[in-house]
């Protein structure tokens, strides 16, 4: 299965407009944003667990990133509510479950195989750092080689300079409205921009975005 696998193309998707697709587990559904291959392939999805969902222990050969959007996701490390970021490094394993259901943003099989650091961040209670311009705050979540993941918070009427992203950029709008010269992107929007693409972002209303850079093939 190939969905949005041309990494030279800019893509903007409203996941709420996509149908829920079944998975091998009858209690899990997905809105697939990108995918290259069969089950176990490189993929990015919105994933919905029904109440009582459990999985056997399994290994992530090329890593996994999770951001909890709704409900509580659980594994051996604890119970992870909305706003939790989890990175399961290549070679790591866990036994996930959702006692009362949850909705997750999930990326699998896209990490550098040498990255061996797993991470759990409760972004609701973690500290923000000053950004490069007034009104911008950053919460670094993961960094290895060229790959960087962070939350970025924009106060209303915050404007950034035009810039390019080596290895591309991927954004999920967590809340508010993110903007650039190409359009307006409300809460829930997922967008992917190719290697060395150029844009000039801003937010008139304010927003929070989950950003990953430096991970796209070129």
What are the residue ranges spanned by the domains of the chain?
Answer: 7-122, 129-213
Q: Show the tokens assigned to 201.
A: 């972002």
Task: Return the CATH number of 129-213, one of 3.50.50.60, 2.60.120.10, 3.40.50.1820, 3.40.50.1400.
Answer: 2.60.120.10
Written as six digits, the tokens of 88 are: 């399961």
**Domain 7-122 and domain 129-213 have a common topology:** yes
Provide the pLDDT for residue 25.
82
Mind listing the pLDDT tens digit for each residue in 102-126? 999 999 989 888 999 999 999 999 9
Q: Which residues of 175-192 are buried (b: 16+ CB within 10 A; e: fewer)?
A: ebbbbbeeeebebbbbbb
- Flag whether pLDDT at 153 surpasses 80: yes
Report how far residue 205's alpha carbon sits from residue 39's, in angstroms, rounded to the nearest whole number: 39
206/211 Cα distance (integer angstroms): 15
Decide if pLDDT at 24 tops 90. Answer: no
pLDDT mean over 7-32: 93
**CB half-sphere exposure, 85, CA atoms < 13 A:** 22
- Ramachandran bin of 25, using left for φ above 0, alpha for ψ from -120 to 50, beta for the remaining angles: beta
Q: What is the pLDDT of residues 54-87, one digit of tens each?
A: 988 888 888 999 999 999 999 999 999 999 999 9
Nearest of 88, 46, 31, 93 to residue 65 by alpha carbon = 88
Q: What's the Cα-to-Cα distance from 5 to each of 2, 21, 34, 185, rounded to whole Å?
A: 6, 18, 6, 22
Q: Which tens digit of pLDDT belongs to each residue from 34-47?
A: 998 776 688 999 99
Residue 26, pLDDT above cutoff 90? no
- For 7-122, which CATH class? mainly beta
Give the least confident one: 36-45, 113-122, 143-152, 202-211. 36-45
């Amino acid at each position: 299965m190939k969905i949005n696998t041309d990494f030279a193309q800019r893509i903007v998707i409203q996941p709420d407009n996509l149908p829920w697709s079944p998975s091998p587990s009858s209690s899990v559904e997905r809105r697939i944003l990108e995918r290259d291959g069969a089950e176990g392939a490189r993929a990015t999805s919105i994933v919905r667990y029904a109440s009582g969902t459990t999985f056997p222990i399994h290994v992530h050969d090329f890593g996994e990133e999770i951001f909890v959007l709704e409900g509580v996701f659980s594994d051996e490390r604890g119970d992870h509510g909305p706003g939790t970021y989890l990175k399961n490094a290549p070679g790591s394993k866990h036994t996930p479950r959702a006692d009362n259901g949850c909705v997750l943003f999930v990326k699998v099989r896209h990490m550098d195989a040498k990255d061996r650091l797993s991470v759990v961040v409760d972004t609701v209670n973690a500290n923000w750092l000053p950004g490069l311009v007034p009104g911008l705050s950053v919460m670094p979540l993961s960094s290895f080689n060229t790959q960087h993941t962070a939350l970025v918070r924009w106060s209303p009427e915050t404007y950034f300079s035009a810039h390019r992203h080596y290895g591309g950029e991927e954004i999920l709008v967590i809340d508010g409205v993110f903007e650039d010269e190409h359009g307006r992107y409300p809460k829930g929007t997922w967008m992917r921009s190719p290697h060395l693409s150029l844009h000039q972002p801003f937010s008139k209303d304010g927003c929070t975005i989950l950003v990953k850079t430096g991970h796209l093939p070129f």
